Amino acid sequence: MKRDVDSSVFDLAISQTSDDENGPYDKEQPKKSEELIDFDGPNDPEHPQNWSLLARIWATFMLAMFNLVVAIASSIFGSAQTKVAGEFRASEEVTVLGTSLYLVGYILGPLIFGPVSEKFGRKYPMIVGVTVSGLFTLMPALGKNLAVIFLGRFLAALFGVAPIAVLGGVITDCWDAVYRGVATACCICLVFSGPTFGPLIGGFIVAGLDGWRWTMWVCVIATLSISLLAVFTYPETYPPRILQKKTQRLREETGNKTLACALDIEETSFRYLARIYLIRPWALFFTEPILVLITLYQAFIYGLMFLFYQSFPIAFGKVRGWKTGISSLPFLSILVGVVFGTGVVVLYTELYVKRKVAEYGKFQPELRLPIMILGGCLVPVGLLWYGWTSKSTIPWPSEVCSGLLIGCGMYIIFIQSFAYIVDCYPDRANSAMAANGAVRSVFGASFPLFARYMFEDLGVNWASTLLGIICIVMAPVPVIFWRYGAQIRTRPKVGEH
């Protein structure tokens, strides 16, 4: 369908995934003679939300697989730390940088792939990013000194973060508001499980194969394989990019060079990109209490997850005397907890949230929070259970089962925080999630640095107690916004036109 640009110059394509948070003054004014191409109504089969169910499930599944691979890579190096320390005669406190520097790459990567994915679509930035990440993983796989290994880990994450940067966008591309929550919950389940699979897989690789480097070779093989598969089977889901291809096709078919699409007329100057992706996220972060407190709570939970990957080898390896591969098996309890938490979130959304939306006649973001409050109770209980059963005289099943509560609670807090932020800032979701992702990655990168000191000096029991107390202190955050969130959201927002 063609439209005269004078009637709606700055409208983007229907359901454009990166919410139009920029306002009309951020777009470049098109020429009067140009005709703007749009979808042929809300039922246009070219729009991803109108694809077949199988096609949308495949796009979401492949996205989840991309994220799972890079998430496993983020933590798998932790299983190799002892071997790396022995080979290069360094302390384990130094080799933990292999994990921390990877997460530092997560801070900077979205600043690259955010704007790139909004100009060139989702598919090829994601494929190129993961492919380059796999190639940089060759540096730690072949490196002869720690500097090369650590640099390779950082660069692998810098490009490997591409699937994480486009995750919310792809899900919004393919699913409407009714099914978006379920798709997000299932996708984030795999993303959240990835860092738990890492030490589990890595533990058996280090114990069963000759040397630690196979942990890196597995990442190389996995990233390049998934990228190759995606080249031939993954569809482009970004509606403005689909419209751009449609516009190019119509130009060739009709010979009409005045045809244009929203993506063609968007401003792409460095000044514009810097303001949207570097300045606006932090202006929003430091002026919005919902964003800052929910982000800090979620970031602490994220850091806690990576801290635990350092504590399990102590709790089950040193305290209970289990061998390397076997001491990784308790991570399965966290995985089971995450899967259970996914089921809880899906059922809660289908049975409670939908009923309340029908009752109120509209969706309220605070409907996300009651179950998040439950997650905030499960985590400290699980931490105390974990800490005070970490004794060789107490049967191991008790300590392992504590991971069920920890995994379930952490997942619920993480996914509901993500959803609540997007719901509260629908017109500025990109900026909000950019700040959220950066802060979260800072916590994830820094927590492993002091994990070993903390659990060895305080002991597993008191270290877990300290973490549990911090969780209790932060637990009222969703309670406050459940009560006052609607009032806070009615305040004037930064950057509104």
Kindly tell me if the per-residue pLDDT of 479 is higher than 90: yes
Are the C-beta atoms of residues 206 and 79 closer than 8 Å to each other? yes
Ranking 126-140, 147-161, 371-385, 479-493 by mean pLDDT, the lowest is 479-493
Q: Do residues 339 and 480 touch, judged by C-beta distance below 8 A?
A: no
User: In this predicted model, which residue has the larger pLDDT, 84 or 280?
Assistant: 84
Average pLDDT of span 18-25: 41
What's the pLDDT at 17? 37
Q: What is the mean pLDDT of residues 177-187?
A: 78
* Pairwise CA distance, residues 370 & 342, whole Å: 15
Binning pLDDT at 50, 70 and 90, where does residue 428 land? confident
Residue 130: pLDDT band with limits 50, 70, 90? very high
Quick one: which H or E segment has residue 36? Answer: strand 35-37
pLDDT (0 to 100) of residue 341: 94
Predicted confidence at residue 276, as pLDDT, reads: 72
Residue 193 has a pLDDT of: 84
Pick 244 or 223 by higher pLDDT: 223
Q: Which pLDDT score is estimated for 148?
A: 95
Q: Which of 45, 27, 34 is nearest to 3 (CA)?
A: 34
Question: Could you read off the pLDDT of 361-379 as tens digits, one per residue?
Answer: 888 889 989 999 999 999 9
> Which tokens in the block code for residue 403?
């991971």
**Is pLDDT of 481 > 90?**
yes
Does the pLDDT value for residue 413 go beyond 50? yes
Angle at 14 between CA 10 and CA 16, to 5 degrees: 80
- How deeply is 177 buried, as exposed, middle or buried, from its count of CB atoms within 10 A (0-12, 13-18, 19+)? exposed
Share of the chain above pLDDT 70, in %: 90
Task: Please determine, for residue 410, whether its predicted confidence score (pLDDT) is greater than 90.
Answer: yes
Neighbours of 222 (CB within 10 A): 19
pLDDT reported for residue 13:
30
The answer to whether the CB of 139 falls within 8 A of the CB of 149 is yes
Q: Which two tokens stand for residue 478?
A: 């969703």
Question: Which 3 state secondary structure label does DSSP give 244?
Answer: helix
Give percent of the chain with pLDDT exceeding 90: 44
Residue 123's pLDDT band (cuts 50, 70, 90): very high
The string of pLDDT tens digits covering residues 226-260 is 999 999 999 999 888 998 888 888 888 888 887 88
Of 48-52, 300-304, 408-412, 419-423, the range with the lowest mean pLDDT is 419-423
pLDDT value at 7 more than 50:
no
pLDDT of residue 138: 96
Q: Is the pLDDT of residue 265 over 80?
A: no
Is residue 76's pLDDT more than 50? yes
Assign 3 to helix, strand or coil: strand
Q: Is the pLDDT of residue 200 over 60?
A: yes
Give the pLDDT confidence score for residue 23 in this predicted structure: 42
Query: How far apart are the two ends of the chain, measured CA to CA in Å?
Result: 29
Q: What pLDDT, on the 0 to 100 scale, is given for residue 10?
A: 23
Question: Where residue 267 falls among pLDDT bands split at 50, 70, 90?
Answer: low
In the predicted model, is pLDDT for residue 137 greater than 60? Answer: yes
| Residue 181 or 255, more confident | 255
What b/e string do you get for 73-109 counting C-beta neighbours within 10 Å, with b at 16 or more? bbbbbbbbbbbbbeeeeeeeeebbbbbbbbbbbbbeb
pLDDT computed for residue 20 by the predictor? 44
CA 429 – CA 168 distance, rounded (Å)? 9
pLDDT at residue 494 tops 50: no
Please write the tens of the pLDDT for every residue from 389-407: 999 899 999 999 999 999 9
Q: In this model, does residue 203 exceed pLDDT 60?
A: yes
Domains of the chain with CATH codes? 2-44+239-266 (no CATH), 53-235 (1.20.1250.20), 278-497 (1.20.1250.20)
Query: What does the alpha-carbon distance between residue 264 and residue 266 come to, in Å, rounded to a whole number?
Result: 6
Average pLDDT, the chain: 85
